[in-house]
Structure 1
Amino acid sequence: MIIVAGWLAVAPESRDAYLDDCREAVRLAREAPGCLEYSLGADLLDPGRITVYERWESDEDLERFRGSGPSDEQAVQIVDASVARYRISAVEAP
């Protein structure tokens, strides 16, 4: 299993519009083969921060969906980011 998690920073006044522009990508990701979870959300404390969380069955599923990443319009709005890919070898109940 692959987890992609982290955060994006955008101008606080642009965050809601940025997330709204991501709706179709979220819908498509959730319908993609191998997608177990795909979520982008507004941080409750930082008005310019977007939380990223994805779970995929495999690297191949992730890469097949990801393609070239965010559109140029979205990429230019990102002022900072910290997102990483994690390879999970076991999953257990909490």
Structure 2
Amino acid sequence: MSNQVVVIGHLRVAETDRDAYVADCREVVRRARAAPGCLDFLVAADPLEPDRVAIAERWASRADLEAFRGSGPPDDQRARIRDVRVVELDLPQDV
């Protein structure tokens, strides 16, 4: 039996672009939540830091995460990211 995977952390984008960046992630969130093995997926604006975007994901398995992730965000979205601080944690299935 494989472990669940939790991805947690944040991105930094330009302060003036943060809200637009989060809005542009809506379709990614929609697709992720519909993907096999997705247990939770969130991209949200930080309420205190104007350039920070919170990321939280939970997947039934690493295979499910990797199948969804593919090559990562589109180039135009990737270019807007100034910094990434994200960790992936393996958790037992019964958590």
TM-score by length of 1: 0.94
Residue of structure 1 in register with 2:87 after alignment: 84
Alignment match, 2:44? 41
Letter of the aligned partner of 2:11 in structure 1? L
Rounded Cα–Cα distance in structure 1 between residues aligned with 2:91 and 2:31: 23
- 5+ residue gaps, structure 2, are none
Q: Mind listing any 5+ residue stretches in structure 1 that lack a counterpart?
A: none
Give aligned pairs, total: 91
Report the TM-score when normalising by structure 2.
0.93
Read off the aligned partner of 1:19 and give its amino acid letter.
V
Q: Name the Cα RMSD after superposition.
A: 0.8
Write out per-residue CA displacement over residues 23-70 of structure 1, whole angstroms, 9 at most, x where no aligned residue. Answer: 111000000000000000000110000000000000000001001111
| Identity within the alignment, % | 51
* 1:53 and 2:56 are equivalent in the alignment: yes
Partner of 1:30 in structure 2? 33
Q: Distance in 2 between matches of 1:43 and 1:20?
A: 13
Matched, 1:72 2:75: yes
The CA distance in 2 between the partners of 1:87 and 1:27, in whole Å, is 23
